A and B are shown apart, each in its own frame.
Chain A
Amino acid sequence: MACLADPASADLRFVAVGNPNTGKTTLVNALSGSCLRIGNWPGTTVERVETCFPVGDRQACLVDLPGAYSLAAGTAEERLTRDELLAARPDAVVDVVDASNLERNLYLTLELAELGYPLVVALNLLDEAQARGLDLRLEVLEERLGVPVVATVAVREQGMEGLVSAALQARPATLRLDYPESIESAVTRLEPLIPHPSRRWMALAALSGEPISLDEPASRLLEILKVELASLGVDPFLGIVGTRYQAAREMAANVQVTRPGAHRLTEALDRWFLHPWLGIPLFLLGMLLVFRFTFQFSDPWVGWLGQIQEVLGGWIAAMPLPGLVASFLADGLVGGIGTVLAFTPVLFFLFLALSFLEASGFLARSAFLVDRLMKAMGLPGRAFIPMILGFGCNVPAISATRTMESFSDRLRVAMAVPFAACSARLAVFTLFTSVFFPGHAAVVVFGLYLLGLLVGMLTALALGRLTPPSEAGSAMELPPYRIPTWKVVWRQASARTWSFVEGVGGAILLSVAAVWVLLNLPPGDISQSLYARLSTGLAWLLGPLGIHDWRLAGALVPGFVAKEVVIGTLGVSYLQADPVAPMGLLEGLRQIASGLLGALWATLQAIPALLGLPGIALPPPEAPEGLPAALSQSMTRSGALAYLVFVLLYTPCVGTLMALRLEFGRRWAALSAVYQLVVAYALAFVAARLPL
């Protein structure tokens, strides 16, 4: 099936609307075949999922609107859904309803019915509801609403053809709710002044106090009507919302022959996972598993990508090129692409784990478990997962702040995340601690992790003092546990990884090229390069921290590209670069192929290793031979500690900075960089003066 290049040229435009956790995304996936597009809504970080598929000889495009409990815009997602619905009349609104939770879901359905658009109801998760003993009379719902109702089981792609053909026959609902007389007469007077197909819904929303923009005559009348209602002692908000809840409740009672029993799986799992004593240890164990999964599975692939990079370098060395050009191609270009790609396995597996946690219902449980802790910092429980993910890699941690609703909460967490010691920084820690603190390496590394956590928490706390707490509160749903479909989790993870490569790749490439220029110009000895001159200036600035050697100070600059690059640069500036051995075409291909097999095998081997006991020993440091000896002569122990503290806290890597920019804009990213430099300098200054 060919995917439609431009969704705007589709013949039919459908939108999917529904409560969160109704399997709406799975349903859109099931409808889509392979033409799913995942992006962001313009100007926001809310995920936008769209898919196009052929219907007979026409092309239909379906947009997945963000989950909403109602069209009263309480969250950013709900606002987006409402605005999108009001902006243009779709050919059909597909309302995805959780069959086992009709009472609450029908509230939104009633609002959608009031919009007056062609509507079709997809009664999803019907298998789950029936397993719980629920018996529904679909025809009653169909008759009451006056729109087609289709039973679907999206995970198993059941009911999809029926849904598409029903969407083609969708028609505006015939149901009309009876509001209290005073409200009804106010609506009748206001409606004619609103030039919009959904004027009844808009009049009701305006009366109930929603910020709806109206024309001058309409808004003047609205004020008059509000005063009139108030003098009658009628609160339109309570009247309107109450009528809808009442109607939803009655309709649910009429449609359900039997009520659903308890969700057995959820009850059983929650008994353990939310257990008063076992809950938190089990949760911590689960987080440990997420990390081991990410690193054990991504390690072989990072290694393989490094191997490809070496082979490419070898091929370039074998070509008859002038030295500087070959060096730029190998170190600047291939090295840059390699740096971008080296991120992707870790990101992909972390995103995979995150998507699974989100879709299965575990993410909401973790918020429930640690909410009390986060409350102490003035944050919602949901803030915990992004903060923890930061210890794996800061980039997905910053994207994961999207699971929080309030902007100020998200920003506070995102400013704290870069202080979490990510795995790239661990490489620097293990090298330096093995040289300078041989007997106490683990203690020093653990202390650094704690320091990062502490600084991050204090940052979030301090920012919380500056911003008012979010008004919406932290009430949220604990969705029933569900086994997510592999397809949805996989697609979400690859789409998120790809959006990182797209959004951040260019910036990383540029900074790698810039570092190459610094290191290689003017050509010749590195101690004469631009890099050496810049580093000498830096060393003067870092003198008060006990870092006097220009090579140590300078390595912090490329560390901005990715923190593990610090070691490579130190190797080059202390020991000079090894010339790359030229490599034949066939030999290179053979190495890549055998590397691929090796990576596949190592990934398979990682599966049993996941369940093994966690090792508490530090991984052995990876560094060029001779570097430890060179390092031990260039600084004192307290200088080394200051250096480590500085590496822990200073400006996040370019990937993190770009992620911050994508989520919060240029200004916040810049502010974060400056703030971290200042904090790093101040604390390293203190560390250099510790008696060791």
Chain B
Amino acid sequence: MIWNKEAFLSRGYPGLDGELRPPRLEERDPVDEAMRCLTELAMNEEALVHAVGGPHLRARRIMSLGLSPGARVRMVRRAPLGDPLEFDVSGCLLMLRSEEAAGIVVEG
């Protein structure tokens, strides 16, 4: 599945003053087909974090947990009831709800 650019844009990107703004992806590498949402990783698949989206506070929190652009991330498991997802970020295990993980763009 191709990463949904529209959905990501509508979620906004952490900007100055906590205001939401659309991600300025054009400044970075061009978005290509290799980019996906974090939720789209298969079990045990690894990828590189490209950008972190969502409300400012939430994105900052996710980044401070180690999921920042440039970090390697691996999908570990889904919770028994289906929702939160567990990720391995260079040896550290994190739990994210799927709507939070959906705001994170990964490549590779």
Collect the chain A residues with CB atoms within 8 Å of residue B57's CB: 74, 471-473
Assuming the contacts A103-B66, A103-B90, A233-B27, asked whether A473 and B80 have C-beta atoms less than 8 A apart, the reply is no
28 contacts between A and B (CB under 8 A): A100-B91, A103-B66, A209-B15, A230-B16, A237-B15, A241-B68, A245-B68, A246-B70, A260-B91, A263-B91, A274-B77, A275-B80, A279-B79, A279-B80, A369-B79, A371-B83, A371-B97, A372-B83, A471-B55, A471-B57, A473-B54, A473-B57, A473-B58, A473-B97, A474-B97, A475-B61, A477-B95, A478-B94
Q: Report if B46 contacts A (CB, 8 A).
A: no
Total of A-B residue pairs, C-beta within 8 Å: 140
Residues of chain A within 8 A (CB-CB) of B94 are 475-478
Q: Which of A69, A101, A245, A280 sits near B70, CB closer than 8 Å?
A: A245
The answer to whether the Cβ of A107 comes within 8 Å of any Cβ in the partner chain is: yes
Bound form: Cα–Cα A472–B92 in Å: 20
Of A235, A246, A279, A473, the contact of B61 (CB 8 Å cutoff) = A473
A111 nearest CB across to chain B (Å): 10
Q: How large is the interface on A (under 10, 10 to 19, 20 to 34, 35 or more residues)?
A: 35 or more
Query: Which chain A positions have C-beta within 8 A of B93?
Result: 266, 477-480
Could you tell me the distance in whole angstroms from the C-beta of B86 to the nearest C-beta in chain A?
7
Whether, in the assembled complex, A226 has its beta carbon less than 8 Å from a beta carbon of chain B, the answer is: yes
Whether a CB of chain B sits under 8 angstroms from the CB of A104 is yes
User: CA A233 – CA B21 in complex, angstroms?
Assistant: 13
Contact mask for chain B residues 78-89; partner A; CB cutoff 8 A; 1 contact, 0 none:
111111101001
Q: A235-B15, A371-B97 are in contact. Are A101 and B58 (CB under 8 A)?
A: no
Interface residue? A30 (CB, 8 A): no
Q: Closest 8 interchain pairs by CB? A: A372-B81, A69-B64, A473-B58, A104-B66, A372-B83, A478-B93, A471-B57, A371-B84
Check if B60 is an interface residue, CB within 8 A of chain A.
yes
Q: Indicate whether A209 sits within 8 Å of B80 (C-beta atoms), given known contacts A375-B97, A475-B100.
A: no
Given A72-B64, A74-B60, A274 and B80 contact (CB-CB distance below 8 Å): yes
5 additional A-B pairs beyond A104-B92, A381-B95, beta carbons within 8 Å, are A75-B61, A104-B89, A475-B67, A477-B95, A478-B93
B18 within 8 A of A: yes
Q: A69-B64, A101-B91, A209-B17 are in contact. Are A372 and B55 (CB under 8 A)?
A: no
A window 37-77: CB within 8 A of B: 69-70, 72, 74-75
Give chain B residues whose Cβ lies under 8 Å from the Cβ of A259. Answer: 90-91
Q: Which residues of A contact B91 (CB under 8 A)?
A: 100-101, 259-260, 262-263
Which of B27, B83, B95 has a CB less than 8 Å from the CB of A478?
A: B95
| Cα of A368 to Cα of B93 in the assembled complex, Å | 11
**Cβ-defined partner of A277 (8 Å) among B24, B60, B80:** B80
| A533, CB-defined interface residue at 8 Å | no
B41 at the interface (CB under 8 A from A): no
Evaluate contact between A476 and B95: CB separation under 8 angstroms: yes
Q: How far is the CA of A170 from the CA of B27 in the complex (A)?
A: 42
Contact with B along A99-113 (1 / 0, CB 8 A): 011011001000000
Distance in angstroms between the alpha carbons of A8 and B96 in the assembled complex: 42
Give chain B residues whose Cβ lies under 8 Å from the Cβ of A230. Answer: 16
The residue on A at minimum CB distance from B66 is A104
Are B63 and A241 in contact, with the CB atoms below 8 A? yes
**B97 contacts across to A, CB distance below 8 A:** 371, 375, 473-475
Known interface pairs A472-B61, A476-B95; A235-B16 also in contact (CB < 8 Å): yes
Residues of A within 8 A of B81 (CB): 280, 369-373
Q: How far is the CA of A364 from the CA of B94 in the complex (A)?
A: 10
A249 interfacial contact with B, CB 8 Å:
yes
Whether A245 and B61, one on each chain, are in contact in the complex, defined by CB atoms closer than 8 angstroms, is: no
A262 to B90, CA, bound (A): 10
Does B12 sit within 8 A of A, measured CB to CB?
Answer: no
Instruction: Let me know if A209 and B69 touch, CB within 8 A.
Output: no
| Chain B residues positioned under 8 Å from A652 (CB to CB) | none
**Residue A236 is within 8 A (CB to CB) of chain B in the complex:** yes
What are the interface flags for A359-375 relative to B under an 8 Å C-beta threshold, 1 for contact and 0 otherwise?
00000100111111101
Task: Tell me the smallest distance from the CB of B11 to a CB of chain A, in Å.
Answer: 12
| C-alpha gap A233/B24 in the complex (Å) | 10
Contacting residues, chain B, for A103 (C-beta < 8 A): 66, 71, 90
